[in-house]
């Protein structure tokens, strides 16, 4: 896509996109000049400073090309600062954009919005699902930029064996009901900073616990969910994200659990017994430099690789989000 694209009428736009192999398979909005200009209207003056070459194409997106993809995704006006911050995060070397785009693993670029930047985004009930335009379109816009500018074409560079629905869009906000500091503050930003965190991640894995009445019991269930023998985190290592539902978070906080205490307990108890790892996988783990800790495997390299936020609505559910492994959770402040 170019900045001077001659856009056909809306009535034939989707067929025109399909003929060129563009898009993600869902209908898109035609990025007319007027729509792109409206998307660009509220950017900070130094917005172009965050743009960097995208693998595998090596092409550096322009503000207009990013705005055009935001229009195609259906973004409302006002989301460009968050989208540009997410782009800044995924080109951080630690994120490993090229590796996460080319892998057979089903990871997708997860976007988590914290602090004042949450305005318009949803961190309550069904925050991973439909119903909020900002969540749905911001994650999709990021994926479209990586597809159209970066060249992450499914079946060519994107070699994911099965993919996942998260590749369409994977964006949510923290809840405002957390009893602990938000992720931005946890990672060293100020309480007045809007922060976007990105990670090459699998879709959420549900943690269903309606019976536990104490925080310790809830963490037993969470640890059992995290101890998954098929996770990349077992041998590629890397970060996890634990998204506690407000009810589970309230019980843990009532019982005096701190974020560090939760991390330490889950690091100690989320272990995979040797008999749940096949002999072939054990040999491969050794090749990757991963040895068991006694009679079990750990699920990463240490408690610092477990990040914790609160999001969701009513109900005794939480979510564990494992990563591609060869990535990091990267957090960037939204420019004002």
DSSP secondary structure of 280-322: HHHHHHHHTT---BTTEE-SSS-GGGEEEEE---SSSEEEEEE
**pLDDT band at residue 2 under the 50/70/90 scheme:** very low
Query: In the predicted model, what is the mean pLDDT of residues 291-304?
Result: 96
Query: What contacts 49, CB < 8 A, 6 or more positions away?
Result: none
pLDDT one-digit tens code per residue, 190-203: 999 999 999 999 99
What is the average per-residue pLDDT within 211-222? 98
> For position 3, what pLDDT does the model report?
56
Q: Tell me the average pLDDT across 216-229.
A: 97
Mean pLDDT for the stretch of residues 125-136? 97
**Of 113, 98, 100, which Cα lies nearest the Cα of 163?**
100
Mean pLDDT of the chain, nearest integer: 95
Domain boundaries, the chain: 10-333
- Lowest-confidence segment of 49-53, 79-83, 266-270 by average pLDDT: 49-53
- Distances in Å between the alpha carbon of 56 and those of 20, 83, 98, 198, 227? 19, 20, 6, 19, 34
Averaged pLDDT, 221-245: 96
Query: What is the per-residue pLDDT for 221?
Result: 98
Query: Does the structure show a pLDDT above 60 at 270?
Result: yes
Q: Measured between alpha carbons, how far is residue 281 from residues 232, 238, 258, 285, 299 in Å?
A: 12, 18, 35, 6, 14
CB 225 within 8 A of CB 209: no
pLDDT at 258 over 60: yes
By the 10 Å C-beta count (0-12 exposed, 13-18 middle, 19+ buried), 303 is classed as middle
What is the tens place of the pLDDT at every residue in 150-183? 999 998 889 999 999 999 999 999 999 899 999 9
Residue-level pLDDT at 33: 94
Sign, CA torsion 276/280/283/285: negative
pLDDT of residue 4: 53
């Amino acid at each position: 896509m170019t900045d001077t694209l001659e856009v056909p009428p809306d009535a034939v736009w989707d067929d025109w996109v399909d003929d060129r192999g563009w898009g993600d398979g869902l209908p898109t909005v035609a990025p007319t000049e007027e729509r792109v200009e409206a998307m660009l209207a509220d950017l900070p003056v130094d917005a172009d400073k965050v743009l960097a070459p995208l693998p595998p194409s090596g092409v550096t997106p322009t503000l207009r090309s990013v705005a055009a993809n935001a229009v195609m995704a259906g973004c409302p006006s006002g989301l460009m600062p968050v989208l540009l911050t997410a782009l800044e995060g995924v080109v951080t070397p630690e994120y490993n954009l090229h590796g996460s785009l080319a892998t057979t693993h089903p990871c997708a670029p997860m976007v988590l919005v914290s602090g004042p930047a949450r305005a318009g985004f949803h961190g309550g009930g069904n925050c991973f699902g439909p119903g909020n335009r900002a969540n749905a379109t911001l994650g999709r816009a990021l994926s479209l930029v990586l597809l159209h500018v970066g060249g992450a074409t499914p079946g060519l560079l994107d070699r994911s064996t099965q993919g996942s629905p998260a590749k369409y869009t994977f964006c949510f906000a923290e809840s405002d009901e957390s009893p602990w500091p938000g992720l931005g503050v946890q990672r060293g930003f100020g309480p007045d900073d809007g922060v976007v965190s990105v990670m090459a991640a699998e879709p959420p894995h549900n943690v269903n616990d309606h019976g536990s009445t104490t925080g310790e019991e809830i963490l037993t269930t969470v640890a059992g969910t995290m101890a998954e023998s098929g996770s990349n985190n077992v041998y590629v290592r890397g970060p996890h994200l634990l998204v506690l539902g407000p009810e589970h978070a309230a019980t843990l906080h009532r019982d005096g659990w701190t974020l560090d205490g939760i991390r330490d307990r889950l690091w100690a108890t989320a272990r995979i017994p040797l008999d749940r790892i096949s002999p072939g996988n054990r040999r491969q783990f050794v090749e990757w430099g991963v040895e068991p800790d006694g009679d079990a495997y750990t699920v990463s390299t240490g408690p610092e690789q477990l990040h914790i936020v609160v999001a969701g609505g009513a109900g005794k559910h939480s979510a564990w989000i494992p990563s591609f492994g060869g990535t990091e959770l990267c957090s960037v402040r939204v420019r004002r």
